[in-house]
């Protein structure tokens, strides 16, 4: 199936601020993604087959089918024709840096998924996105992984605010490290991404802008964007688009064209 978006070139050129998508992994979406298994490449299929829990496999399929649909819409390609590559890792030069679109290296994207939610960011600059489920984040276990300045900022908050602040900090940190292309190969407590502006803790990330993403209850998400050329600072909080894989790509394409 060829998905045509007549204004895709103009839309890509307008991505001075990235666009963010949330993709819920409902039961219907998981079933729809399973039916579109043929869109995936060999590496994605091998990964999907490695999951022991059907729920984890379903979320993975929703994330990757959704990613292909979104990138296909931007690039005027069939989702199955989107080919991926990897940049060299900045830390060790290994072939596991930021993922790329092999045919369109000027288009940058990032993908994250947790529990029953996936997040995708698309931009014209290096970008990182992260989504986490609150129930998987344990404040006490993560405090030692925060930067000393983040730990100090955390101590100024009321106890009832601290768990949310740690979750907010963690998605900022993950999105920034993914944007750099190093992931958790870099010690998380060595970078100061802050708890977020809501907690008066913006962090120090020269050359990068960080923002929170409006997420459903029980989740937190953030995005990091490298500031390049004429790119504008992101708003402090981004409202994402939503892709329902069970409904198909057409409604999302209609919103994209608006």
Evaluate if residue 5 carries a pLDDT over 50: no
What pLDDT sits at residue 27?
Answer: 94
Check residue 10 and give its pLDDT.
54
- Does position 3 have pLDDT exceeding 50, yes or no? no
Whole-prediction pTM value?
0.90
Question: Residue 13: its pLDDT value, please?
Answer: 62
14-51 tens-digit pLDDT: 567 789 999 999 999 999 999 999 999 999 999 999 99
Q: What's the confidence (pLDDT) of residue 6?
A: 42
- Does the pLDDT of residue 4 top 50, yes or no? no
Q: Has residue 251 got a pLDDT over 80? A: no
Element (H, E) at 163: helix 159-180
pLDDT of residue 186: 81
Identify the band that residue 106 occupies on the pLDDT scale cut at 50, 70 and 90.
Answer: confident
222 burial class (0-12, 13-18, 19+ CB within 10 angstroms)?
Answer: buried
- CB contact burial 227-258 (16+ within 10 A = b; e otherwise): beeebeebeeebebeebbbbeebeebbeebee
Distances (CA, A) of 38 to 35, 42, 96, 234: 8, 10, 25, 36
- Report the pLDDT value the prediction gives residue 232, as an integer from 0 to 100: 56
Extract the tokens encoding 153: 């900022």
- pLDDT surpasses 60 at 148: yes
pLDDT digits (tens, 9 = 90+) for 174-232: 999 999 988 767 889 999 999 999 999 999 999 999 999 999 999 999 999 998 765 55
Determine the average pLDDT of the residues in 232-240: 82
pLDDT(254) > 80: no
Cα–Cα distance for residue pair 109/82, rounded to 1 Å? 12
- What are the sequence ranges of the domains in the chain? 8-257
What are the pLDDT digits (tens) for 40-90? 999 999 999 999 999 999 999 999 999 999 998 888 889 999 999 988 877
Whether domain 8-257 has CATH 3.90.470.20: yes
The predicted pLDDT at position 97 comes to 77
Q: Which range, of 101-115, 142-156, 230-244, averages the lowest pLDDT?
A: 230-244
């Amino acid at each position: 199936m060829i998905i045509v978006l007549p204004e895709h070139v103009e839309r890509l050129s307008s991505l001075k601020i990235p666009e963010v998508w949330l993709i819920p992994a409902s039961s219907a979406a998981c079933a729809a993604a399973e039916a579109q298994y043929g869109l995936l490449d060999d590496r994605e299929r091998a990964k999907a087959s490695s999951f022991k829990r059907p729920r984890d496999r379903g979320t993975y399929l929703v994330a990757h089918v959704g990613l292909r649909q979104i990138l296909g819409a931007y690039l005027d390609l069939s989702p199955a024709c989107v080919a991926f590559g990897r940049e060299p890792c900045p830390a060790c030069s290994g072939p596991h840096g930021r993922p790329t679109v092999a045919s369109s290296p000027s288009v940058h994207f990032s993908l994250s998924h947790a529990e029953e939610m996936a997040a995708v960011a698309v931009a014209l600059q290096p970008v990182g996105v992260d989504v986490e489920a609150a129930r998987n984040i344990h404040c006490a276990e993560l405090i030692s992984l925060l930067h000393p300045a983040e730990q100090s900022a955390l101590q100024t908050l009321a106890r009832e605010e601290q768990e949310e602040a740690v979750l907010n900090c963690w998605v900022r940190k993950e999105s920034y490290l993914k944007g750099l292309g190093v992931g958790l190969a870099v010690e998380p407590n060595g970078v100061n991404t802050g708890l977020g502006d809501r907690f008066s803790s913006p962090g120090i990330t020269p050359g990068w802008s960080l923002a929170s993403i409006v997420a459903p209850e029980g989740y937190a998400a953030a995005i990091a964007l490298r500031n390049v050329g004429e790119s504008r600072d992101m708003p402090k909080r981004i409202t994402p688009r939503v892709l329902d894989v069970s409904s198909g790509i057409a409604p999302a394409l209609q919103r994209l064209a608006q």
